[in-house]
Chains A and B, each alone.
Chain A
Amino acid sequence: MKQNERRIVEGGDSPQQRKAGDGAKRAILALAGGAGLFVLGSIAFDLGILGDDGSHPTNSSERESDMAAAYFSPPAETSIPDGPDGDAIRRGMALFVNTKTNAADFVGNELSCASCHLDKGREPNSAPMWAAYVIYPKYRSKNKQINTMEDRLRGCFTYSMNGQDSPSGGPPPAGHPIYKDLQMYFHWLASGAPVGESLPGQGYPELEKTALGYDPQRGAQVYEQNCAACHGSNGQGQRDLNGKLVFPPLWGPNSYNWGAGMARVNTAASFIKANMPMGQGGTLTDQEAWDAAAFIDSQERPRDPRQTGSVADNAAANHGQDTYYGKIVEGRLLGTGTGR
């Protein structure tokens, strides 16, 4: 910059004997113009006109964290208090992520709460527990009555955790400490959340029907391409060296039973669209999500514990649309259950 100025000054001193002010004027003009150009350039770069994609590796994450700001954010795990309440919260969290071990008597499959409520029940749009906690007690058409959170949890153990095949043969009895600890965990997750409000990110965002409808055969292809790497081509999940289940089974005797919400195609499609493949939620098309859900939910799984008579009777009594329960797929009546 100094050099430029000197040249300008030299220009002013040229043999033509310019007026003394001329050089100064030019210097000011050059400086102002240069600064102007620089500012224009920076603005253009910021607007992305000159930017190239490679130089913005954090772009997508910035966008996501902008979105995240719109959701309620539960307290950090490090802020769990000490003392009896903190102990109960920690027990609840352990139950949530390691359900099979910590509620061994009441779990009849290999799932955990955290299998479907991602990030330990914290992730928005994956039925986060901070959003659920503040809207209970509530009326549920599933059992046509007001449900407390404990009632709701009993439903989870009965259906999603397939309590009928557990050592005790059912969900924890009313008032069991398991319910208390889980609710302590949810209560803590919802610290500071407005009670009674339906918070953004609650449940799984409902996926609209597509014109094409859903089809298990198309879904088989979607599944093989997008789901099988983790859940296995046979849907039974995968284990590590120690036999620890790393990816949850999606059907068969170790998965949720026919009475679970996830056994309904619309629920599964909504979950898949928003959350799967892991870390890539929203990348499948609506059609792919519906078809994958149809493929998964048209496989046999443990029987519906509400069934007393025939599958057809139970289908009429307890199953609505968007389920393969009681339907015949590839010549097989679905809903008869899996032997253990």
Chain B
Amino acid sequence: MTRPEEPSRPGENFEPYEEMRQIPIGVIMFAVALALWGGVLLYQSSYAVAVGRADETVLSPQSEQGLGLTGAKLFEANCTTCHQPGGEGVEFAIPPLDKSPFLAGGPEIAASILLRGIDGPIRVGDETFDGHMPSFASALDNAEIARLATYLQARFAGRKQAISGERVAALRREIADAGPFAGGQEIAARFDSSLSPQPEVKPLAGGMGISSGILELVNQGRGEVWSCSSCHGDRGQGADTVPRLAGLPADYIAKQLLDYTEGRRRNENMELVARSLSETEREGLGRYYASMRAASTARPSLGGNLERGRELVLSGDWSIGVPSCTSCHGPSAFGVTPGFPGLAAQHPSYTASQLAAWVSGERDNSRQKMMNVIANALNDRDRAAVADYLATLPPVPAPATTADEVKR
């Protein structure tokens, strides 16, 4: 390649004509217009920042969840999607609180159930329920659980006996890592034999009945491919933008893994991992994480408005065409298999990043682009609000893995 002859460099001094010729008026006009534009943008963004800061101080999680909420408000915010505003429950699905014998036995039972959750069959009145109630240990503090338990007693059992925050703190220490109550049977045995008879609890399978191959994938990885737990944590609890997997519906997890291998969902790391898996392994991993029990490690972190988040999650905003999250993901945001993942206790950075991916179209693997449409209707602040509020919800109690199920 021959180099074109280098033009002689102009002198450093201005040519005389340059000193005389003026900058064309059009260029100056353009510069003025740009300067004006810049000024306006600066002003607008400083205004937006100021508004954002003001919102954060007014609506920070601390002031939102604050100590001020009464028992009635706590009930409304935490219990009514499942147990209903009147405490009547839902036939065949959610036990009633109204006149429930479990509430008549003193506030410690209610406080213990709130702290531990229930994961096993329970008989209330004449009806037997499947019994998957989340633990509110991560969602509510001791004083709140005390106020809520006292309120439930008074409203639904007509008892005036109160429990103190200190007593709840002691219960919390006693309970430590006990996990959810294994159905009504354990509650009856622990507190009040008059609650018997309770349905029999099928024994949990040892090692959760997951094959050693799956456990190896989870804990050690295989060959070049790293383990699930190296990013998602040893209990599938996730962190930050890495999603919590514990308690997600099994078929949902298997479907996402398949979508990664077939290019319907995109993430370089996950595509690499997923391509190394067989169908049996995808299903096995789904079952493994669906039955995993893990406390919530998610906390609001995006400065979202929790009140707005609650509105969107529980009621939706029909004026912008957004139905509630719970209308598809279930009343406790536990998910509905296979199409709808659980959202409760998910990390806000992950939820928000997914909502953003639905908006940009980077993620588009929901049926009929349902999530793209919904995420698009929300603005940035709504998405942060939803993500933060979902992080405050108690996690899915794992479906009981019984010996029978494992043999399938």
Is B truly associated with A? yes
Instruction: Scan A58-75; emit 1 where CB is below 8 A from any B CB, else 0.
Output: 101100110010000000
B contact residues, total (Cβ < 8 Å):
62
- Judged by a CB distance under 8 angstroms, whether A52 is at the interface is no
Chain B proximity of A58: nearest CB distance (Å) = 5
Q: List the A side residues contacting B129 at CB < 8 Å.
A: 242-243
Contact A243 B318, CB 8 Å, known A225-B368, A279-B370: no
Interface residues of A in 23-78 (CB under 8 A from B): 26, 29-31, 33-38, 41, 54, 57-58, 60-61, 64-65, 68, 77
The segment from B165-173, B206-214, B271-279, B323-331 found at the interface with A is B323-331
Contact A29:B88 (CB < 8 A) given known A15-B20, A34-B33, A61-B377: no
Interface pair B30/A37, CB less than 8 Å apart: yes
Q: Is the CB of B82 within 8 A of A278?
A: no
A4 near B: Cβ within 8 Å? yes
Pairwise interchain contact A57-B359, C-beta atoms closer than 8 A: yes
Tell yes or no: B28 within 8 A of A by CB: yes
Binds B, one of A90-98, A172-180, A192-200, A302-310: A90-98
When A240-B332, A241-B330, A244-B82 are in contact, do A4 and B28 touch as well, CB less than 8 Å?
Answer: yes
Q: B370 near A280 (CB under 8 angstroms)?
A: yes
Closest to A278 in B: B323
Given contacts A31-B32, A35-B33, A277-B368, contact A91 B86 (CB under 8 A): yes
Rounded to whole angstroms, the CA-CA distance of A281 and B321 in the bound complex is: 9
Q: Does A143 sit at the interface, judged by CB under 8 A? A: no
A90 touches B82 (CB 8 A): no
Q: Return chain A residues, CB-CB under 8 Å to B1.
A: none
Q: For A29, what are the chain B residues with a Cβ–Cβ distance below 8 Å?
A: 25, 29
- Residues of A near B242 (CB, < 8 A) are none
Contacts of A101 in B (CB 8 A): 84, 88-91
The distance from the CB of B229 to the nearest CB of chain A, in whole angstroms, is 24
B50 within 8 Å of A (CB atoms): no
CB of B320 closer than 8 Å to a CB of A: yes
Q: Is the CB of B368 within 8 A of A226?
A: yes
Stretch at the interface among A6-14, A182-190, A204-212: A6-14
Please determine whether A245 and B28 come into contact, CB atoms closer than 8 angstroms. Answer: no
Interface residues on A, range: 35 or more
A104 touches B91 (CB 8 A): yes
Q: Judging by beta carbons under 8 Å apart, are B335 and A240 in contact?
A: yes
- Central interface residue in B22, B37, B316, B360, by most chain A CB within 10 Å: B22
B240 within 8 A of A: no
Closest B residue to A1 by beta carbon equals B35
Q: Shortest Cβ distance from B240 into chain A, in angstroms?
A: 24
Are A243 and B331 in contact, CB atoms less than 8 angstroms apart?
no
Give the contacting residue for A11; candidates B22, B35, B332, B334; CB below 8 A. B22
Within 8 A of B (CB), among A197-236: 225-226, 229-230
Give residues of chain A (275-294) contacting chain B, Cβ–Cβ below 8 Å.
277-281
CB <8 Å contact, A241 and B25: no
A26 to B389, CA, bound (A): 58
Determine whether the beta carbon of A94 is less than 8 Å from that of B368.
no
Pair B25/A33 contact, Cβ less than 8 Å: yes
Q: Which residues of B80-95 have CB atoms within 8 Å of chain A's CB atoms? A: 82, 84-86, 88-94
Residue B379, interface by CB 8 Å: yes
Q: Interface residues, chain A, CB within 8 Å of chain B?
A: 1, 4, 7-8, 11, 14-16, 26, 29-31, 33-38, 41, 54, 57-58, 60-61, 64-65, 68, 77, 90-91, 93-94, 98, 100-102, 104, 118-119, 122-123, 225-226, 229-230, 238-247, 277-281
